[in-house]
Structure 1
Amino acid sequence: MYDQTRAQQPSDQPPRRPEHHSTAPDALVPPDDRDAVLTRLRMAINSFADTPREALEEAEGAYDEAVAHLAEALTERRRVLHESWHDRDPGTASEELRVALRQYREITQRLLRT
């Protein structure tokens, strides 16, 4: 019997996705710092069976380190964003101010989603 679904497919190749730049937001924590925290957390998880208390202390330390990195990153992001609009001439184009507002909105929404 003839497979009609096979006849309808133009090729065996998967459809090509259009090339585009990622619209994903930049990571707040630099990759090296993120990787160090994740390594520390993995070590805690892997050592739990042998030394549960020490593993929990290590996991807590990884958590504290992640929070500290995130706080530093958010403080710096706020400083840069604030400088982008705060000391500008009062006649600054509304489009420039709209961009700053959009950035505040995006970062705040990211924080509330996680």
Structure 2
Amino acid sequence: MMYDQTRAQMPSDQPRGTAAHRAPGPEPLVPSDERDKIVKRLGHALNTFPDTPRESLEEAEGAFDEAIDQLMAALAERRRTLRAGWEAQDPESQSAEPHLALRQYREITQRLLRL
């Protein structure tokens, strides 16, 4: 028994925020090419499960691990960038940078809590 090979590539399965269907809002944390690779791996795991269940589960686990790695790297880079923007400035100053950094910390934290 073989799953429909097109199922893993249905538009509804594609990550939100692709160029053709981009909703307004913050940029994705993981670059689209990396997301596409992970989605493809997961789709492959789903499609091959009936024939090779163990290998499919290992492939799905690998896709999950890759997603975690990509997300952690993106969050670490975002944190580094935000910190570099405000660290050298006096937070008490009237500069917009500390306020902007605070809003960005709030936004990213709220996004993480909604996952």
- Pairwise TM-score range, normalised by the shorter structure: 0.7 to 0.9
Question: How many equivalent residue pairs?
Answer: 93
- For 2:43, the equivalent position in structure 1 comes to 42
Q: CA deviation at 1:91?
A: 5.8
Q: CA deviation at 1:96?
A: 2.4
* Aligned ranges 1:1-114 → 2 under 5 Å: 23-89=24-90, 92-114=93-115
Q: Deviations over 1:7-65 (max 9, x none)?
A: xxxxxxxxxxxxxxx64100100011000000000000000011111100000000000
What TM-score do you get using the length of structure 2 for normalisation? 0.75
Distance 1:52 1:90 in 2: 55
Distance 1:62 1:46 in 2: 14
What TM-score do you get using the length of structure 1 for normalisation? 0.76
SS of the counterpart of 1:39? helix
Instruction: Flag the 1:102–1:50 CA change in 2: closer, same or farther, 3 A.
Output: same
Q: Which runs of 5+ in 1 are unaligned?
A: 1-21
Distance 1:45 1:31 in 2: 21
Q: Deviations over 1:58-109 (max 9, x none)?
A: 0000000000000000000000000110112466325321111000000000
CA-atom RMSD, angstroms?
Answer: 1.5
Instruction: Flag the 1:68–1:47 CA change in 2: closer, same or farther, 3 A.
Output: same
Choose 89-98 or 34-43, whichever is displaced more: 89-98
Contact 2:42 2:63 in 1 (8 A): yes
